[in-house]
Amino acid sequence: MSIKNLGIILHGATGRITSTQHLRNALIPIIEEGGLNINNSTVMPKILLVGRNEKRLQEIAKTNNNLKWTTNIDSALTDDSYSIFFDGAATGQRFNTLINAINSGKHIYTEKPVASKVSDGLKLLNQAEAANIKHGAVEDKLYLPGFIKLANLIETGFIGRICSFRLEFGWWVFDGKSTPSQRPSWNYRKSTGGGILSDMHPHWRYVIENILGPIRNITSSTSTSQPERIDENGKQFLVDVEDSSTTLVELENGAHGSILSSWATRVRRDDLVTFQVDGTKASAVAGLRRCWVQSEQETPKVTGFDLGRNANKGKDGLDYLQDWKEISDTSPYINPYRVGWEGFISNVVADVPFKSDLREGIRDLQLAEASFKSAKEHIWVPLTKI
């Protein structure tokens, strides 16, 4: 079987998501396992790391089998031995970066959001189509084991007609004053594309619409729970974006739901993200890896609050959890980011259809943009087809 090298530029290589999920957990395992078998050929990723911090680039390159690296993005774009450009750098520069990559003839694969606004996303799409290059957007949450189990339950009709849903996400991000923050400061600045709506709502769009169906209308409210933070240089700055949001959602099929996202909440739920769907035949709750169900037959008949004259001896939260059954694993685990990379590489090399293209990425961005508008104007906003 012949071996074909496939050059991949990883821009923003020193960022946490790019260096861990895209590189260490997705592309490096593909290389270590001998590449991807596509159309009777072995496709071997050939990676070039691009970033601004030389020291971090050297460290990451050394840790991952001495990969090539550069701080010169222009020289990387002019190198014809690299045909794919991936962008995982700060959101604020994404549009111009991707335009330059398209003009250099590269196929583009990008983290979310694909741009800062829908109109820019459409410009990217038009330019990519005109250049006849492949394009993709990261939609990793589709391949979370827990969400896959939930989607299978709904697809087989186990849940019945969907009545409602609730998606909750987040954890406490330290402000850097007494404990170092575990998120970069650009996430908290408007000028660099920060804010939880642009960060997380693109994910929730494709999760909700792929599992439950199209979104019709949304209304959103946001807040800034931590108005002052300390950046990487020890300097205090004022946060000018939202770090918490609550969004109500109406689906085309009549179901209603809510999305709660926050960088200022402490975790007391089944997982860092939980997606509960209630239907006429059953309910299901999915986390990152696990999924629990409660059928109609197994649903306890709750008659009200169990409080008497003395201290409560009735059921509490832990007791109610015992009424749920966990769905077992039926397929081997594959890292969600790796699934995306394998799909995009197959699209580039063999024209295998890849669902998560820029069109999907623009739709993802549309939910974030609609949520911004709703929060600002205090209105319901339709999520019309673009």
75-107 pLDDT, tens digit per residue, is: 999 999 999 999 999 888 999 999 999 999 999
pLDDT at 313: 67
pTM for this predicted structure: 0.94
pLDDT at 386: 84
pLDDT at 312: 62
Can you give the pLDDT of all 386 residues of the chain as single tens digits?
689 999 999 999 999 999 999 999 999 999 999 999 999 999 999 999 999 999 999 999 999 999 999 999 999 999 999 999 999 998 889 999 999 999 999 999 999 999 999 999 999 999 999 999 999 999 999 999 999 999 999 999 999 999 999 999 999 999 999 999 999 999 999 998 899 999 999 999 999 999 999 999 999 999 999 999 999 999 999 999 999 999 999 999 999 999 999 999 999 999 999 999 999 999 999 999 999 999 999 999 988 887 777 776 667 777 889 999 999 998 999 999 999 999 999 999 999 999 999 999 999 999 999 999 999 999 999 999 88
Give domain 141-331+366-377's CATH architecture: 2-Layer Sandwich (3.30)
The two three-digit tokens of residue 194, written as one number: 């920060």
Domain extents in the chain: 2-139+336-354, 141-331+366-377
CB 31 within 8 A of CB 71: no
Give domain 2-139+336-354's CATH architecture: 3-Layer(aba) Sandwich (3.40)
pLDDT at 100: 98
pLDDT at 292: 99
pLDDT at 177: 96
pLDDT at 308: 73
